[in-house]
Amino acid sequence: MDLRTQAMYLRMLCLQWEYGSVQHKMLGAVLGLLPHEVEEALAGPLGEAFKSDVEGNLVNPRLDEIRLKALGRSEQNRQAALARWSDEPKAKKKKASRKRVDGQAELDGAVHLYAVRGPALPAPLIAAMNEYRRMRAENAYPVWRKATWLKNLSDKYSHEEWQAAYETATRSEWRSVHPKKAPKRGGNPFAEGAKFVDPNTQALPKYDQQ
Per-residue pLDDT in tens (0 to 9) along the chain, 210 residues: 788 888 888 988 898 888 888 887 778 887 888 888 888 888 888 888 888 888 888 888 888 888 888 888 777 777 766 676 665 555 555 555 567 888 899 999 888 888 887 788 999 999 999 999 999 999 999 999 989 998 888 888 899 999 999 999 999 999 999 888 765 554 444 444 444 445 555 554 454 444
List beta partners, residue 131.
Answer: none
Backbone angles phi, psi at 92, to 5 degrees: -65, -40
Q: For position 161, what pLDDT does the model report?
A: 92
Q: For position 188, what pLDDT does the model report?
A: 44
Contact call for residues 122 and 159 (beta carbons, < 8 A): yes
- Number of neighbouring beta carbons within 10 Å of residue 179: 20
Which DSSP string do the residues of 49-102 spell out, in sequence order? H-EE-TTS-EE-HHHHHHHHHHHHHHHHHHHHHHHHHSHHHHHHHHHTSPPPP-
Contact call for residues 11 and 17 (beta carbons, < 8 A): no
| d(C-alpha 101, C-alpha 125), whole Å | 23
Can you list the pairs that 193-199 forms with residues at least 24 positions away whose Cβ atoms lie under 8 Å?
Answer: none
Q: For position 133, what pLDDT does the model report?
A: 93
- Number of neighbouring beta carbons within 10 Å of residue 135: 17
The SS3 of residue 143 is: coil
